[in-house]
Amino acid sequence: MSDIGGIFTPLDLAVMLLVAASPGLVLGGVIGAYLFPRRLPGALIGAGAGFVLCAAAWVIYLTVLK
């Protein structure tokens, strides 16, 4: 049985996910701003997509591969 529920609160787990997926947020924002003709919407869409992809990669790594 895992003790992760007793050690960390849900807020702690959310902060860990935000920190772990932050490179995807930054990289997605930069790539989105570079590729879209309008910079701000492209950066926001790219940042959201990068964050989701990076968070999904972490979840897959921690649940399936590790």
* Averaged pLDDT of the chain: 88
Give the model confidence (pLDDT) of 24-45 as tens digits: 999 999 999 999 999 999 999 9
Q: Over 60: is that where the pLDDT of 9 sits?
A: yes
pLDDT mean over 10-33: 91
What pTM was estimated for this model as a whole? 0.78
What is the pLDDT at residue 5?
A: 59
Q: What is the DSSP string of the chain?
A: ---HHHHS-HHHHHHHHHHHHHHHHHHHHHHHHHHSSSHHHHHHHHHHHHHHHHHHHHHHIIIII-
pLDDT mean over 16-29: 92
